[in-house]
Amino acid sequence: MRVRVLGTAAGGGVPQWNCACPGCSGARAHPGWRRRHASLAVQAAEGRWYLVNATPDLGEQVEDCPELHPGPEPRRTPLAGVILTDAELDHTLGIARLREVDGIEIVATAPVRHALLTGLHLGEVLTPYARLDWRPLDPGDRPLAEDSPLAVGAVPVSAKRPRYAAGLDAPDDDAPDEDAPDDDAPDEDAWVVALRLTDRTSGRSLLYAPALAAWPDAFQRAAESADHVIVDGTFWSDDEPLTSGFGSRTATAMGHLPIDGPGGTARRLAALEARTLYTHLNNTNPLNDPAAPQHTVLWELGVEVAADGMVIDL
Ligand code: MLT
Ligand code: MN
Ligand code: ZN
């Protein structure tokens, strides 16, 4: 089973359109520094692929990934659907770019579906263009199709809601909802999940967590049993949003555990047997500069930074 890394940047991308920080200016001067919004493409079967998160860069990401190109019939696409880790705008705005299809599967937890339907009104807005086929995402590892070697399971990470969904009522499990599948709704912790992608043939798995506000025990257990672990590398240090001058809260307060420091994720990753990588880099992250000394720190810990276009075969 093949996984392609389609992007590795946090919301805004690198460079971000309205930003002249060292990372964004560096990316304008050196195209090799550029990073698209964090996303994966994962193969479910021959000629059948899913995106993990739908970013504002989706159209360009499809063009850059040969496996996602349409054909041989003029309107035949290998893209069957989108699997969502959360309802953040950088991970969901791309769904609107898929409106040229007849129908598309959206695999999401109950809170994420609720936010997209009642916060973004995605059902009302997109249904006149394309059918959204909602499928549940929960902790059980489920095959995406009977004949598919790919199984997908969610590991709840945190109850952090997108800002636009702060005031939404909690999803009501008992309320009749035409768009909701008949299924048990996951709890509030399923606002943000990590995805476990398992190749049922090889038994190998990849754990993908682009937004880590916390490191719950269940996530640690999932990481210990995965072969590849790709996690939130938004900020190098906890005070980076403050010292860069762009924020008034720490990384942790913004819902992103930092890489470095006592509560950081680097040492946890270094202790795993899996191949470990960072994604979702914010443009303030010093790792955007390939010559930054922070790369040596990670190298010594045996932790990598994912690159746009990277291929991982499970
Ligand atoms: C996040 O990762 O915290 C969000 O995507 C922030 C945002 O882009 O608004
Ligand atoms: Mn984000
Ligand atoms: Zn910037």
Ligand 1: centre distance to CA 90 (Å): 6
Task: Answer yes or no: is 65 within a domain.
Answer: yes
Residue 92: how many other CB atoms lie within 10 Å: 26
Task: Answer yes or no: is 35 within a domain.
Answer: yes
> Which CATH number characterizes residue 239's domain?
3.60.15.10
pLDDT at 20 over 60: yes
Length of the chain: 314
Which atom number of ligand 1 is nearest to the Cα of residue 12? 8
Pairing type for strands 192-199 and 205-209 reads antiparallel
Task: Answer yes or no: is 182 within a domain.
Answer: no
Taking the C-alpha atoms of residue 157 and residue 114, their distance in angstroms, rounded to an integer, is 18
Beta bridge partners of 139: none
Ligand 3: centre distance to CA 215 (Å): 27
pLDDT at 39 over 70: yes
For the beta sheet containing 150-158, the strands, ordered from the edge strand earlier in sequence to the opposite edge, are 142-143, 150-158, 192-199, 205-209, 228-232, 275-279, 303-305
Task: Answer yes or no: is 269 within a domain.
Answer: yes
Q: What is the pLDDT of residue 237?
A: 98
Q: Is 12 left (phi over 0), alpha (psi -120 to 50) or beta?
A: left
Q: Is the CB of 210 under 6 A from ligand 1?
A: no
Q: What is the pLDDT of residue 182?
A: 44
**What share of residues in the chain are helix, strand, coil (percent, to 5)?**
25, 25, 50
Q: Is the CB of 255 under 6 A from ligand 1?
A: yes
Task: Answer yes or no: is 173 within a domain.
Answer: no
Q: Which of 193, 279, 285 is nearest to 7 (CA)?
A: 279
pLDDT tens digits along 225-271 = 999 999 999 999 999 999 999 999 999 999 999 999 998 999 999 99
pLDDT tens digits along 145-157 = 888 999 999 999 9
Task: Answer yes or no: is 232 within a domain.
Answer: yes
Cα atoms in the 13 Å half-sphere on the side-chain side of 266: 22
In which domain, by residue range, is 235 found?
2-168+187-313
pLDDT tens digits along 237-248 = 999 999 999 999
Structure token digits, residue 262:
């006592």
Distance from the first to the final alpha carbon of the chain: 5
pLDDT tens digits along 280-313 = 999 999 999 999 999 999 999 999 999 999 999 9
Containing 40, the helix (H) or strand (E) segment is: strand 39-45
* Burial class, 242, CB count within 10 angstroms (exposed 0-12 / middle 13-18 / buried 19+): middle
Residues with Cβ within 8 Å of residue 27, at least 6 apart in sequence: 14, 15, 33, 34, 35, 283, 288
Task: Answer yes or no: is 179 within a domain.
Answer: no
Contact 103, 127 (CB under 8 A): no
Mutate to test the pocket of ligand 1, among 88, 192, 193, 281 (most ligand atoms within 8 A of CB): 88
Task: Answer yes or no: is 180 within a domain.
Answer: no
Number of structural domains (the chain) is: 1
Q: Is the CB of 211 under 6 A from ligand 1?
A: yes
Ligand 3: centre distance to CA 26 (Å): 9
Q: Is the CB of 199 under 6 A from ligand 1?
A: no
Which atom number of ligand 1 is nearest to the Cα of residue 10? 2
Taking the C-alpha atoms of residue 1 and residue 202, their distance in angstroms, rounded to an integer, is 9
Ligand 1: centre distance to CA 76 (Å): 33
- Ligand sitting nearest the alpha carbon of 244: 3
- Ligand sitting nearest the alpha carbon of 17: 3
